[in-house]
Amino acid sequence: MYYVDVPKPDDTEIILNLADFPTGAAIYIYKKTKLHYQLSLPEGQVLKKRFSLNGEEMYLMDGYFELVPTSNVRTTKKLTVDIEVDPHSESISGKLGFENYIGKFEYTLVFIPDAVLHLNNIVHHRNKDDYFELTWDKPELEQYTVDKYRITYYHNNKTYVKEITDPHETGFVDSLAVFGALYYRIETFFKEAIREPWVDVYTTVIEFPKNSIRFEYTGVNSGKISWPKNEYKSRYAFATGYYGDIVYEGEENYFEIDDLIEFTRDKNNLFPFSQGVLYELYVVPFDTKSISKDGAWSIHYDVLYSPSLITIEDGYLDFQICTDTPTNRLFVRNGYNFWIYDKDDLELLDQGEVDELSLSWNGRIFCSEKSSLIVIPSSGCIELVSYDLKNYEKLQFDREEELTYREYLLHPLSVQRT
């Protein structure tokens, strides 16, 4: 009598894929982390499938388990996976369990609970080309290998997305960022399957301070409007009034007005510009081809500021100006109101009302330097106001005198003065 044993089962390896980490690897756990696993097993009955952490069996979910740092200090633990499969061999060895498939896998788990899991040192600055640049530090954590960055941002009611696939590139130039509220959503993607993307939000505001739009006289009837030069390369447009007409567009942070009276014609509360009236300054990207008030541009709203601003509150637009050279004074009349300025620096010296004045329109007033009187021609008379605005006199004249006087106003060199 003899016994013929059956062949033993083919050699088949038990394969464990634990989140793409090789057996024996150190796995760094910074926060609550899911470790997905896949087991490739030979045919047979699974006798053992045990995951243990430092010898203590772990609770498994369907295809994954969770790890969480449980202390405030860095700790290291050993993860062990034991697998045993009975192939149901009919051989003697198989009956005795010597042909079972056995797999044992070990990993080192490093728990780091206090790591900063977002981008560090996100800042913006003006680069060498005068554009807005956003920068940050590259992540340096173990097993956080940067794959790419995705930046989402918004301008002029549009959404823009920029992807950076070079992990060593830690900066982004936004030539559209020139003014107003800025918002950037930075997503950092990692090559390790167990790492969730980081999401960082960076916001900032670029603006001018109030009273930063300035007016200065360049002459009795000319002036200049200016504002701070923007930190970033920009173009500008200046509009009079809320949602008003754009009267200047260009790269310079100022514009000049040669004729203030003409410039402010048919505009309320403007001679040349009134304090307290709103103005709009559009600040747009440098490459913008044209600026319209219908676009969703960033706008600086402000009132014009000048320490020597000639202003009128009632909106009445009948202005006359005259100067007295010996005393270096500039007189401005509007209706019953007078303002007296230093002719050179336009410092306001005095102001007042002369209620006795008639309000018939006339485009000119004169200074009588010898008598220190403001001469105001009117219909059938001449009105005289003293430089200190305290004395008023009205001189009537007949028709012939009026015609002679009007001829003198129109052609002063052709009429002999008496």
With a cut of 80, say whether residue 309 has pLDDT above it.
no
- Among 150, 140, 147, which residue's Cα sits nearest to residue 190? 147
Are residues 180 and 239 located together in one domain of the fold?
no
pLDDT level of residue 418 (50, 70, 90 thresholds)? very low
Q: Which residues are within 8 A (CB) of 10 and not within 5 positions of it... i.e. 6 or more apart?
A: none
Rounded to whole angstroms, the Cα distance separating 281 from 298 reads 9
Instruction: From 158, 188, 206, give the residue that closes a domain.
Output: 206
Are residues 289 and 227 located together in one domain of the fold?
yes
Are residues 231 and 299 located together in one domain of the fold?
yes
Q: Read off the pLDDT of residues 76-116 as tens digits, 9 standing for 90 and up.
A: 999 999 998 887 655 555 554 456 788 899 999 999 998 99
CA distances from 66 to 74, 142, 144, 158 (A): 18, 19, 18, 40
Are residues 328 and 404 located together in one domain of the fold?
yes
Least confident of 26-35, 158-167, 181-190, 315-324: 315-324
Sign of the C-alpha dihedral computed for residues 150, 153, 159 and 164 taken in this order: negative
Residue 104 β-bridge partners: 82
Q: Read off the pLDDT of residues 335-381 as tens digits, 9 standing for 90 and up.
A: 888 989 887 777 788 999 999 888 765 557 888 888 889 988 877 78
Q: Is 310 within the bounds of a domain?
A: no
Find the domain containing 106 and state its range: 15-111
**pTM value?**
0.69
Write down the pLDDT at residue 412: 45
Q: Is 344 within the bounds of a domain?
A: yes
Contact 207, 232 (CB under 8 A): no
Q: Is 107 within the bounds of a domain?
A: yes
Are residues 398 and 343 located together in one domain of the fold?
yes
Q: Is 3 within the bounds of a domain?
A: no
Q: Is 10 within the bounds of a domain?
A: no
> Residue 76: what residue type?
T
CATH number at residue 367: 2.40.10
Q: Is 278 within the bounds of a domain?
A: yes
Are residues 57 and 132 located together in one domain of the fold?
no
Mean pLDDT of 200-226: 86
- Among 357, 341, 358, 337, which residue's Cα sits nearest to residue 349? 341
Number of domains in the chain: 4
Q: What is the 3-state secondary structure (H, E, C) of the chain?
A: CCCCCCCCCCCCCCEEEECCECCCCEEEECCCEEEEEEEECCCCEEEEEEEEECCEECCCCCCEEEECCCCCCCEEEEEEEEEEEECCCCCHHHHCCCCCEEEEEEEEEEECCCCCCCCCCCEEEECCCCCEEEECCCCCCCCCCEEEEEEEEEECCEEEEEEECCCCCCEEEECCCCCEEEEEEEEEEECCCCCCCEEEEEEEEECCCCCCCEEEEEECCEEEEECCCCCCCEEEEEEECCCCCEEEEECCCEEEECCHHHHCCCCCCCCCCCCCCEEEEEEEECCCCCCCCCCCCCEEEEECECCCCCCCCCCCCCEEEEEECCCCEEEEEECCEEEEEECCCCCEEEEEECCCCCCCCCCCCEEECCCCEEEEEECCEEEEEECCCCCEEEEECCHHHHHHHHHHHHCCCCCCCC
CATH number at residue 284: 2.60.40
- Among 126, 111, 101, which residue's Cα sits nearest to residue 43? 101
Q: Is 312 within the bounds of a domain?
A: no
Question: Ranked by mean pLDDT, which of 53-67, 123-137, 219-233, 262-276 comes out on top?
Answer: 123-137
Instruction: From 111, 143, 164, give the residue that closes a domain.
Output: 111
CATH number at residue 144: 2.60.40.10
Chain mean position to CA 190: 29
Sign of the C-alpha dihedral computed for residues 311, 313, 318 and 322 taken in this order: negative
Q: Is 296 within the bounds of a domain?
A: yes
Q: Read off the pLDDT of residues 1-17 as tens digits, 9 standing for 90 and up.
A: 444 445 555 567 788 89
Least confident of 164-168, 330-334, 397-401: 397-401
Residue whose structure tokens are 């609550």: 32
Write down the pLDDT at residue 256: 94
- Among 161, 74, 84, 62, which residue's Cα sits nearest to residue 115? 74
With a cut of 90, say whether residue 269 has pLDDT above it.
no
Rounded to whole angstroms, the Cα distance separating 384 from 368 reads 9
Instruction: From 206, 234, 249, give the residue that closes a domain.
Output: 206
